[in-house]
């Protein structure tokens, strides 16, 4: 999710999207009679079986493209040749997409299954009324996950990752916002700080931590943690670890530190350029049905987005015993979430380049 000139790309997208033609698609969906839709979603989150079931139910084929970061979304929208009808957008970038007119307003009367969504699921900054987006997953968190059996120190603060005893044992996500937000919060600043002196101080802390880093990872640090390569990771993988094996329930935990962790959500949205808005809304509404989401959770795990009394019977027995679900409920009260803009990304990216260039 390291991105340069986000708003410049977004503005380019405004100009480009209107000229894109559908890829493997049919006519306008204003009547809802499209025979296919093109969707752009995060890898490792959704169930192909759920998509196939949607096709069986509606006759609308789902053409799926997978992405692993928001930069890829913008690249595909700007540089690709497909007109996407549904995109799975991360919370930090919703405001930029809304401000640059990249999203269509949703017809909430068509989204009857929104009533299934659990209370307390947050709206994205920049779309507080959820006019352009609809939650598709419960919040996730970028936390310090450690192996209780092999981590050599007790971690009580973010700066503990710089402890020499962790030399070569740390994995970290390579997301600019996640890294600098965590470091800024640890120093007592706001994760959204645009003060260069504060970001520079955060960079110095990250430099000290980097001496212990075995691997910077993009999508996941699960392999590094499970194979024992690293005993600790700043990552969003705790719920994935817990879903992988019940053995991990006792093996891994999230460190209770003295600063807040990053919270992020994902949202369904329809690009303003889509000619199949009605069909896209049918898809979004279908993916809020408990049996559809349950298929995704059975394959990939996750804290349920829907009310427990709506979805629990569709999930495996004991699903709510997963310790990550209770942990995430605690983290909700101790978290931060940032809506990025070009100035913030540009400042952090400058120091990120310096950080990653250091031996």
pLDDT tens for 97-146 read 999 888 999 999 999 999 999 999 999 999 999 999 999 999 999 999 99
DSSP-assigned letter for residue 332 = T
What's the pLDDT at 267? Answer: 96
For 66, other C-beta atoms within 10 Å of its C-beta total 14
What's the pLDDT at 231? Answer: 98
Predicted TM-score of the model (pTM): 0.85
Q: How far apart are CA 145 and CA 255, in angstroms?
A: 6
Q: What is the assigned CATH class of domain 140-263+336-357? A: alpha beta
Task: Please list the residues that pair with 86 across neighbouring strands.
Answer: 39
Q: Measuring CA to CA, which residue among 186, 131, 113, 138 is closest to residue 301?
A: 138
Helix extents (H) in the chain = 6-17, 48-58, 70-79, 94-99, 176-186, 196-210, 222-226, 238-244, 247-251, 277-286, 290-300, 308-311, 323-331, 342-357
Q: How far apart are CA 5 and CA 8, in angstroms?
A: 5
Q: Tell me whether the CATH fold assigned to 6-138+266-325 matches the one assigned to 140-263+336-357.
A: yes
Q: How far apart are CA 76 and CA 145, in angstroms?
A: 32
Helix-helix angle 342-357:6-17, to 10 degrees: 120
- Taking only the tens place, the pLDDT of each residue in 26-70 is 334 344 468 999 999 988 889 999 999 999 999 999 999 988 766
Domain residue ranges in the chain: 6-138+266-325, 140-263+336-357
Helix-helix angle 48-58:290-300, to 10 degrees: 160
Residue the block writes with tokens 């427990």: 308
pLDDT beneath 70, residues of the chain: 1-33, 69-71, 77-82, 358-359
* CATH topology assigned to domain 6-138+266-325: D-Maltodextrin-Binding Protein; domain 2 (3.40.190)
What's the pLDDT at 359? Answer: 58
* Mode of pairing for the β-strands spanning 213-217 and 232-235: unpaired
11, 69, 238 from 303: Cα distances, Å:
34, 20, 11
Q: Measuring CA to CA, which residue among 94, 92, 264, 279 is closest to residue 192?
A: 92
Q: How far apart are CA 304 and CA 113, in angstroms?
A: 15
């Amino acid at each position: 999710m390291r991105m340069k000139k986000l708003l410049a790309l977004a503005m380019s997208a405004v100009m480009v999207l209107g000229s894109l033609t559908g890829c493997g698609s049919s006519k306008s969906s204003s009547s809802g009679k499209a025979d296919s839709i093109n969707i752009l979603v995060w890898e490792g989150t959704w169930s192909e079986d759920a998509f196939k079931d949607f096709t069986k139910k509606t006759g609308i084929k789902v053409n799926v493209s997978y992405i692993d970061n928001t930069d890829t979304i913008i690249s595909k929208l700007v540089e690709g040749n497909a007109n996407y009808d549904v995109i799975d957008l991360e919370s930090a970038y919703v405001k930029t997409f809304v401000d640059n007119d990249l999203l269509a307003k949703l017809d909430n009367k068509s989204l009857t299954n929104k009533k299934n969504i659990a209370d307390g699921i947050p709206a994205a900054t920049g779309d507080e009324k959820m006019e352009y987006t609809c939650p598709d997953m419960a919040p996730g968190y970028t936390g310090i996950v450690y192996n209780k059996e092999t981590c050599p120190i007790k971690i009580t603060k973010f700066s503990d990752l710089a402890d020499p005893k962790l030399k070569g044992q740390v994995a970290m996500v390579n997301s600019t916002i996640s890294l600098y937000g965590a470091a800024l919060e640890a120093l007592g600043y706001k994760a959204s700080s645009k003060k260069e002196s504060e970001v520079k101080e955060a960079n110095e802390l990250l430099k000290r931590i980097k001496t212990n880093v075995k691997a910077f990872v993009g999508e996941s640090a699960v392999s590094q943690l499970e194979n024992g390569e690293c005993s600790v990771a700043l990552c969003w993988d705790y719920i994935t670890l817990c879903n992988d094996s019940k053995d991990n329930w006792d093996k891994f935990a999230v460190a209770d530190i003295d600063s807040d962790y990053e919270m992020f959500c994902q949202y369904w949205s329809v690009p303003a350029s889509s000619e199949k808005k009605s069909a896209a809304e049918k898809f979004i509404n279908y993916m809020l049905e408990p049996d559809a989401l349950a298929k995704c959770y059975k394959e990939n795990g996750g804290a349920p987005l829907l009310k427990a009394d709506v979805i629990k019977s569709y999930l495996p027995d004991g699903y709510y015993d997963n310790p990550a679900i209770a942990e995430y409920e605690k983290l909700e009260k101790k978290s931060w979430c940032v809506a990025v803009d070009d100035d913030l990304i540009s400042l952090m990216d400058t120091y990120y380049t310096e950080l990653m260039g250091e031996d």
